[in-house]
């Protein structure tokens, strides 16, 4: 699933490519992909800004917000007007929706698993979406302070620390990859109960989360199978991963084999030596 760094890279791609353009058509080829409770039409509106919160991408038009959640396998692919590989439902069976702009450029919503969604709301009212409304502060925004993090964690002392940081209502944008990597950098075992960890250790975890996410953004995100940016290019942060998808391999710091277990229902990788808290 694309996490914060992957969606942020897509946002930056699209800001460069389509900001200011007029949307003239929104087509859907899989009906359930579009959530439009008020029957809004974005056609004829200019794209005035692109925002992101957690794993949600917001395309703000003149009067409408188009919100995309890529879920497991969604992609937003840019197709310039002079492309020699025009996409349509016949030759791109995983294209679920397509946005066309006045200048001929198009944006393709491609999703093999069909879990991704595009939602339309009046401008600035994405909070009407149930999932979006429950999001905590974005993990790389100034809103996510040490005080906020510690306060929210104190309410769940019996939770495992991995389960806590995967909870999007506590902090938005962290998924399985970056949870494992951040816990490794902070030296914390993923199954540790929140209440057993010192405030200093939790501060170190918050710093590790921000560090890992920013490094991944700079590397274009993490690509194992499905993720590509809006140019169709893979990220490179998978080359820097310390524990995720490395079970059985030696830890790059201490040579102890990386182990795998299940925490919060998720496959979890950790170093039993380096993660001692």
The residues assigned a catalytic role are 2-3, 55, 266
CA gap 65, 161 in Å, rounded: 34
CA gap 122, 38 in Å, rounded: 9
CA gap 256, 254 in Å, rounded: 6
CA gap 23, 215 in Å, rounded: 33
Per the listing, tokens 């890992």 go with: 212
| Cβ pair 57, 129 in contact under 8 A | no
CA gap 14, 63 in Å, rounded: 19
- For the chain, how long is the longest CA-to-CA vector? 59
Per the listing, tokens 């030596």 go with: 273
| Cβ pair 79, 106 in contact under 8 A | yes
Q: Alpha-carbon Rg of the chain, whole angstroms?
A: 20
Phi, psi of 165 (to 5 degrees): -80, -15
User: Of 23, 4, 2, nearest to 211 (Cα)?
Assistant: 4
99 burial level (CB within 10 Å; 0-12, 13-18, 19+): buried
> Residues, the chain, total?
277
């Amino acid at each position: 699933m694309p996490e914060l760094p992957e969606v942020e890279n897509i946002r930056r791609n699209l800001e460069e490519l389509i900001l200011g353009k007029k949307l003239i058509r929104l087509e859907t080829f899989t009906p359930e992909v579009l959530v439009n409770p008020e029957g809004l039409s974005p056609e004829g509106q200019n794209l005035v800004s692109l925002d992101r919160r957690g794993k949600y991408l917001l395309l703000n038009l003149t009067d409408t917000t188009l919100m995309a959640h890529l879920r497991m396998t969604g992609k937003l692919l840019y197709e310039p007007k002079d492309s020699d590989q025009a996409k349509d439902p016949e030759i791109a069976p995983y294209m679920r929706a397509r946005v066309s702009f006045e200048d001929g450029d198009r944006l393709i919503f491609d999703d093999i698993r069909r879990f991704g969604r595009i939602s339309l709301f009046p401008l600035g009212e994405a909070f009407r979406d149930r999932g979006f409304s429950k999001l905590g502060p974005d993990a790389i925004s100034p809103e996510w302070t040490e005080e906020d993090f510690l306060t929210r964690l104190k309410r769940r002392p019996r939770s495992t620390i991995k389960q806590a940081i995967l909870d999007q209502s506590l902090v938005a944008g962290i998924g399985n990859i970056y949870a494992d990597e951040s816990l490794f950098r902070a030296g914390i075992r993923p199954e540790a109960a929140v209440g057993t960890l010192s405030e200093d250790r939790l501060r170190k975890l918050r710093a590790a989360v921000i560090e890992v996410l920013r490094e991944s953004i700079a590397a274009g995100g993490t690509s194992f199978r499905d993720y590509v940016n809006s140019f169709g290019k893979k990220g490179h942060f998978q080359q820097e991963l310390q524990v995720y998808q490395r079970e059985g391999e030696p830890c790059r710091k201490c040579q102890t084999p990386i182990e795998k277990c299940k925490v919060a229902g998720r496959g979890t990788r950790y170093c039993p030596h380096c993660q001692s808290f």
